[in-house]
């Protein structure tokens, strides 16, 4: 039997789909209100509403694009900052101040905040990067153009900022640090199979994909 890493990952993806689908049913009990979310977003736009805004922790990188991201993933990532599963002092402080309803409202707002559509034809990757993506079966879970995740708690990553993608990927490899790192049953195992240079190369390619994410400028508020 051929138990290559991509084969194992494909089975993992199927399992993840099942467990994630259960989590989705749970997350769906709260319906988000776009208008309430828009008001609540005043505490977010200083960073997520400024095009190209940079954060300096743990190194200088652009704040992630969240407009057009899927609502269930926004909620699940905010929960991960709350619980410390994702270690990040700023986002932990911010997420900890939010109720489940407020997170649902913010997620509904940001999910509806961009109508960008992913390109119909996927952008081709270099031979080297294509091999890296194949090794990690990335497209199996993150979907066509890395913009159609197979289950709701998986993010769209096509067109996300390269420097943020790299910081996020590296964070999945970090353990035992109080302020940096992400624990994910899926991504931790995957990210650790690459060198930092390889993670950087995949991040650069993923950022070049025409996806659905954007930062929608909201200068009026600040
Ligand atoms: C001071 C700047 C700042 C503010 C204010 C802020 N964020 Fe963030 N946010 C960040 C940074 C930096 C990250 C990346 C953290 C990391 O590396 O995991 C992030 C990550 C996120 C993520 C995860 C994105 C992903 O792709 O995984 C979500 C969702 C998010 N923020 C939503 C919000 C919401 C909603 C608010 C307002 C309630 C908010 N943020 C306020 C800086 C900020
Ligand atoms: C089995 C499914 C699966 C596979 C395969 C997979 N991912 Fe993921 N990915 C996920 C899930 C689920 C998350 C959300 C984890 C979390 O909550 O932090 C994620 C998160 C990410 C993030 C963080 C995005 C953000 O906005 O913070 C990046 C970057 C990423 N994956 C890139 C990759 C790359 C590159 C590969 C291939 C080398 C890959 N993924 C393979 C399921 C998968």
Q: What is the pLDDT of residues 41-87, one digit of tens each?
A: 999 999 999 999 999 999 999 999 999 999 999 999 999 999 999 99
| Best CA proximity match to 58, nearest among 198, 190, 178 | 178
| 158's tokens | 């096509």
pLDDT at 164 over 90: yes
Mean pLDDT of 83-97: 96
Predicted confidence at residue 122, as pLDDT, reads: 83
Q: Tell the residue number behind the tokens 């931790």, with chain if given.
A: 188
* d(CA 81, ligand 1 centre) in Å: 9
Mean pLDDT of 159-185: 96
How far apart CA 161 and CA 158 sit, in angstroms, is: 9
Cβ distance 149 to 73 under 8 Å? yes
* Position 180 in a domain: yes
Specify the higher pLDDT residue, 119 or 220.
Answer: 119
**Structurally, how many domains does the chain consist of?**
1
* Position 18 in a domain: no
Query: Residues 13, 29, 98, CA angle at the centre, nearest 5°?
Result: 95
Predicted confidence at residue 10, as pLDDT, reads: 74
* Position 41 in a domain: yes
How far apart CA 156 and CA 142 sit, in angstroms, is: 6
How far apart CA 189 and CA 1 sit, in angstroms, is: 22
Predicted confidence at residue 142, as pLDDT, reads: 97
For ligand 1, residues with CB inside 6 Å are 43-44, 46-48, 55, 63-64, 66, 74, 77-78, 86, 88, 90-91, 94, 106, 155, 167-168
Specify the higher pLDDT residue, 220 or 193.
Answer: 193
Predicted confidence at residue 220, as pLDDT, reads: 53
| 33's tokens | 């209100």
How far apart CA 107 and CA 3 sit, in angstroms, is: 38
Predicted confidence at residue 79, as pLDDT, reads: 97
Assign 222 a pLDDT band (cuts: 50, 70, 90). very low
* Position 78 in a domain: yes
Predicted confidence at residue 4, as pLDDT, reads: 72
pLDDT at 22 over 70: no
| 67's tokens | 């407009």
CATH code at position 46: 1.10.760.10
Q: Tell the residue number behind the tokens 């407009």, with chain if given.
A: 67
pLDDT at 212 over 70: yes
Nearest ligand, measured from the Cα of 180 = 1
pLDDT at 206 over 60: yes
What is the domain range of residue 124?
A: 31-221
* Position 114 in a domain: yes
Assign 7 a pLDDT band (cuts: 50, 70, 90). confident
| 139's tokens | 């497209």
For residue 151, give every residue at least 6 positions away whose Cβ sits within 8 Å of its Cβ, in sequence order, or none: 16, 17, 20, 21, 24, 141
* Position 70 in a domain: yes
How far apart CA 154 and CA 177 sit, in angstroms, is: 24
| 151's tokens | 């289950």
């Amino acid at each position: 039997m051929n138990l290559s890493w991509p084969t194992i990952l494909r089975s993992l993806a199927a399992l993840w789909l099942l467990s994630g689908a259960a989590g989705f049913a749970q997350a769906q009990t709260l319906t988000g209100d776009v208008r309430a979310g828009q008001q609540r977003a005043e505490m977010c736009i200083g960073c997520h509403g400024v095009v190209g805004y940079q954060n300096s922790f743990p190194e200088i990188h652009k704040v992630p694009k969240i407009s057009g991201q899927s609502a269930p993933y926004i909620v699940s990532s905010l929960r991960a900052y709350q619980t410390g599963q994702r270690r990040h002092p700023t986002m932990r402080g911010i997420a900890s101040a939010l109720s489940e309803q407020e997170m649902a409202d913010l997620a509904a707002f940001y999910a509806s905040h961009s109508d960008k559509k992913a390109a119909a034809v996927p952008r081709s990757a270099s031979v080297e990067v294509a091999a890296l993506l194949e090794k990690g079966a990335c497209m199996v879970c993150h979907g066509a153009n890395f913009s159609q995740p197979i289950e709701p708690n998986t993010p769209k990553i096509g067109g996300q900022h390269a420097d943020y993608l790299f910081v996020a990927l590296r964070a999945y490899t970090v353990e035992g640090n109080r302020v940096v790192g992400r624990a994910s049953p899926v991504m931790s195992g995957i990210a650790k199979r690459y060198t930092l240079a390889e993670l950087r190369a995949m991040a650069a390619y993923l950022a070049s994909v025409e996806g659905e994410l954007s930062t929608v400028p909201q200068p009026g508020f600040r």
